[in-house]
Amino acid sequence: MTRARLSWLGTLLFWLFRASWAALVVVAPALGVWVASSLAAYRNGPVWLVCVAGLLLFPIVPVAWDMLSELLRRRRSAAKRDRRVLTTWDRIVLRTLTVNLAFLAALLWSRPEAAFTAISTRGDWFLEGVTSPAADRARGALLQAADGLQWLYEAAHDNQYAELIESKPAEAPAPQPAPVDDAWSDPWERPPQREPEPTAEPTPAPEVPEPAIEPPTPALAGPTWPSPAVVHPAVLAMPEDARASIDAVGRHLAASEPDPARRIKAIHDFVATHLAYDAASYLNRDVYPDQRAEAVFASRLAVCAGYANLMKAIAAVTGDEVVVVVGDARGLSREVEGESHAWNAARVDGRWYLIDATWDSGHLKDGAFVREYRSDYLFVPPALIGVTHFPEEPAWQLREQPLTRGEFARQPMMRPKFFADGLQLLEPRRSQVTVQREFAMSLDNPRARNLIVKAVPEDSSQAIECALTGTRKVDVACGPLPAGTYAVRIYTSPTLYGTYQGVGELQVHAAG
């Protein structure tokens, strides 16, 4: 290589280095402002104030630091004055990196879980409502970058129930593809139908009765979902002597039900109806009573770890394969990332199914447990339970392509019954959004379910009932909403004057 070419290459490398060096002045402050502003958007804080405060990161603090350093240097005697090695620009770049990396490290260290959740759910807040190919590419890049920080959340997050599980975590299963006829393989991608054209003289739409469900037979081919919320006959007719111990319960269920799928249902039903949720311990969260299967069987009181332990213990007697899964779950609450939880997986005819007897036993209301047996979380398809449950071990999602934690948090918080009712959320498709004063939502409602939608303020004051228009395609309008945070909750009922059950919610920040 000639001397001229070497000189040209050296010049090129020098200017590439200088360009990269200068780019750091932009990238470092942008990262800090991105994380801080995403936190503000996530918590409904003043995003504009965070962006303005970002000027402190550059140029105010670095330039002020350099000016102060130069002033102190000039005050020294000429004999002791050091000769500058770096240029003014180089010094400002180094100071910018120091200030911004320190700020970013402090932010991530002090609030790692909140920071990750914020950037993975609201990291594209400045693109909200923008639809264009360029915006979509930018949005995808930002959220992919946020997903890359999942390790930060997991390093800081401890599952408070993991140590209450009796056995070691079960070996993760191999990925199992969804059956080709599985209608629930992707609940978000069902194309909506067009709204029927109105007639000249519209008539009220008739009430659509619940679809008839044939009672299961002993020759049931395998687990089905959804199943009727009817307690298994072997549990209803269980004599007192069969309730004396875990072993007695298991022997009774094994003798009463030969079908593996229905036997797992019987175990689920017994646990869901035998135990009451320990609301006091859950709300206290400091010290939990003994959650081993024998202890909760005797006390008939448990948190999720006790429910899961008892289900596994009974299955061990019946000869069924049931394991405990730990992770995070989110219901009708205000945290899109969820909280620590434990549930079960059962293998039936060589295939794994997910079960949550805790959530099928009842719910909390005003700090007290209310019994309400359901079968919503019995044999739930992986794509549906994956909206509310996120296991620590990705393989227990039972999906060919597991979700990242960021993808989990970005999903609208819909319960499986939302999909069982045939509903589809059209807009918005995110767990949290920010609006000015009006919130709009669109639903596909092919079964003409009766709906109620309410915006519940964070301070638990009077809920605002939202207006609904349309039959097949239902447009929801909530507002005007005073400034604050709201849980916009969806309730459904098969009959107009029946009991309405909460099936999902979105978190809405109203700027006012």
Question: Tokens 């709300």 map to which residue?
Answer: 283
421, 449 in Cβ contact below 8 A?
yes
Tokens of 433: 């959004």
Least confident of 204-208, 289-293, 425-429, 441-445: 204-208
- Please report the sign of the dihedral spanned by the C-alpha atoms of residue 431, residue 435, residue 438, residue 440: negative
338, 326 in Cβ contact below 8 A?
no
Q: How far apart are CA 423 and CA 380, in angstroms?
A: 16
Look up the CATH superfamily of 421-512. Immunoglobulins (2.60.40.10)
Strand ranges (E), 246-367: 276-277, 301-302, 321-329, 339-348, 351-355, 362-365
Tokens of 285: 């969260």
Average pLDDT value for residue range 180-201? 58
What pLDDT does 82 receive?
Answer: 61
Classify strands 484-493 and 473-478 as parallel, antiparallel or unpaired.
Answer: unpaired
Angle among Cα 179, 180, 181 to the nearest 5 degrees reads: 90
Instruction: Please say if the pLDDT value at position 258 is more than 80.
Output: yes
Tokens of 448: 């003409």
User: What residues are paired with 327 via a beta bridge?
Assistant: 341, 391
Question: Is the backbone of residue 367 left (phi > 0), alpha (psi -120 to 50) or beta?
Answer: left
Q: H/E element holding 377?
A: none
What pLDDT does 209 receive?
Answer: 38
- Confidence band for 458, pLDDT divided at 50, 70 and 90: confident
Question: Tokens 């638990």 map to which residue?
Answer: 460
Average pLDDT value for residue range 64-89? 78
Instruction: Please say if the pLDDT value at position 206 is more than 50.
Output: no
Instruction: Please say if the pLDDT value at position 194 is more than 70.
Output: no
Percent of the chain with pLDDT over 70: 89
Residue 380 three-state SS: strand
Tokens of 314: 């009974």
- Confidence band for 81, pLDDT divided at 50, 70 and 90: low
Q: How far apart are CA 468 and CA 476, in angstroms?
A: 5
The residue type of 224 is: T
The yes-or-no answer to whether 159-198+220-410 and 421-512 have a common fold is: no
What pLDDT does 360 receive?
Answer: 97
Question: To the nearest 5 percent, what fractions of the chain are helix, strand and coil?
Answer: 40, 20, 40
Residue 71, burial from CB neighbour count under 10 angstroms (0-12, 13-18, 19+): exposed
Crossing angle of the two packed helices 3-42 and 112-122, in degrees rounded to 10: 100
Architecture of domain 159-198+220-410: Roll (3.10)
- Confidence band for 203, pLDDT divided at 50, 70 and 90: very low
What is the per-residue pLDDT across 374-385, written as a single tens digit (0 to 9) for each?
999 999 999 999
What is the per-residue pLDDT across 468-501, written as a single tens digit (0 to 9) for each?
999 999 999 998 999 999 999 999 998 998 889 9
Instruction: Please say if the pLDDT value at position 193 is more than 60.
Output: no
What pLDDT does 3 receive?
Answer: 65
Instruction: Please say if the pLDDT value at position 18 is more than 80.
Output: no
What pLDDT does 190 receive?
Answer: 56
Which carries the bigger pLDDT value, residue 167 or residue 378? 378
Kindly report the number of other CB atoms within 10 A of residue 192's CB atom.
15
Domain residue extents for the chain: 3-156, 159-198+220-410, 421-512
What is the per-residue pLDDT across 115-124, written as a single tens digit (0 to 9) for each?
999 999 999 9
Least confident of 105-109, 179-183, 438-442: 179-183
Instruction: Please say if the pLDDT value at position 211 is more than 60.
Output: no
Which carries the bigger pLDDT value, residue 395 or residue 512? 395
Least confident of 122-126, 173-177, 204-208, 373-377: 204-208
Q: How far apart are CA 502 and CA 458, in angstroms?
A: 17
Instruction: Please say if the pLDDT value at position 318 is more than 80.
Output: yes
Q: How far apart are CA 19 and CA 14, in angstroms?
A: 9
DSSP per residue, 487-500: EEEEEEESSTTS--
Average pLDDT value for residue range 305-310? 97
Instruction: Please say if the pLDDT value at position 201 is more than 60.
Output: no
Q: What DSSP designation does 60 have?
A: I
Classify strands 362-365 and 501-510 as parallel, antiparallel or unpaired.
Answer: unpaired
Which carries the bigger pLDDT value, residue 256 or residue 89? 256
User: What residues are paired with 345 via a beta bridge?
Assistant: 323, 354
Average pLDDT value for residue range 19-29? 82
Residue 469, burial from CB neighbour count under 10 angstroms (0-12, 13-18, 19+): exposed
User: What residues are paired with 510 via a beta bridge?
Assistant: 435, 484
Kindly report the number of other CB atoms within 10 A of residue 476's CB atom.
20
Tokens of 231: 């307690």
Classify strands 464-465 and 450-457 as parallel, antiparallel or unpaired.
Answer: antiparallel
First vs last C-alpha separation in the chain = 67
Q: How far apart are CA 273 and CA 183, in angstroms?
A: 30
- Confidence band for 334, pLDDT divided at 50, 70 and 90: low
Classify strands 351-355 and 378-380 as parallel, antiparallel or unpaired.
Answer: antiparallel
Question: Tokens 């991105």 map to which residue?
Answer: 34
- Confidence band for 297, pLDDT divided at 50, 70 and 90: very high
What pLDDT does 169 receive?
Answer: 63
What pLDDT does 73 receive?
Answer: 80
What pLDDT does 80 receive?
Answer: 57
Which carries the bigger pLDDT value, residue 498 or residue 409? 409
Instruction: Please say if the pLDDT value at position 290 is more than 70.
Output: yes
Residue 263 three-state SS: helix
Average pLDDT across the chain, whole number: 87
Q: H/E element holding 3?
A: helix 3-42
